[in-house]
Amino acid sequence: MTFEEKTICSDIVYHGKLIDVRRDIVTTVDGQSSREIVEHADGVVIAALKPNGNIIMERQYRKPVEDVVFEIPAGKMDPGEEMEEAALRELREETGYTPEHIRFLTSSWPSVGFSREVLHVFLATGLHAGETDLDDNEAIDLEEHHIDELYDMVMRGKLTDGKSQVAILMVKGLIDRGELDDYLE
């Protein structure tokens, strides 16, 4: 049977602009231990699919990995914001696109070992182009790639962003099951 840890006490040890770090003292199988937990706003991930099978992708420098990351549009939810509302806002801000249809696919915990963050994955279709509205500190290059190419990149380990892998695998599964036949050319 799996042992469930109980929190004895909890303290915020770092309060930042984007994250807080909490230290919990917990019961363990053989006594007590401490857990450091990152508290971060939940986020949204948007697979923006065009009728030709292309998905809107981004290249963006990510300081934690010191590299340009190839990824699906995504962003954090604002306080009090609903998931779908955040997905629509982030898609429009980062890509300029507004969808006719948005569909919730799944939620996922990207780093359960140290973070409470939840990412909510959406599929956006019926895309209408518009102007981006990037945050002052954002620099994003947009690209379109066919779902089959992206799926192949995931399966060969060439697309390493976890949230993008989840979104691409889910969209590819929907396509392969024929659930998007009415939308694709």
Active site residue ranges: 138
Give the CA distances from residue 106 to residues 52, 141, 150, in Å, rounded to whole numbers and listed in that order: 24, 26, 19
Of the candidates 165, 59, 66, the residue with the CA atom closest to the CA atom of residue 110: 165
Coil/strand/helix, residue 166: helix
Give Cβ neighbours of residue 53 (< 8 Å, ≥ 6 apart): 146, 147, 148, 175, 184, 185
Give Cβ neighbours of residue 177 (< 8 Å, ≥ 6 apart): none
Of the candidates 46, 117, 51, 127, the residue with the CA atom closest to the CA atom of residue 85: 46
Look at the block and give the residue holding tokens 């190419």. 149
Distance CA 36, CA 39 (A): 10
Positive or negative, the CA dihedral 173, 178, 179, 182 is positive
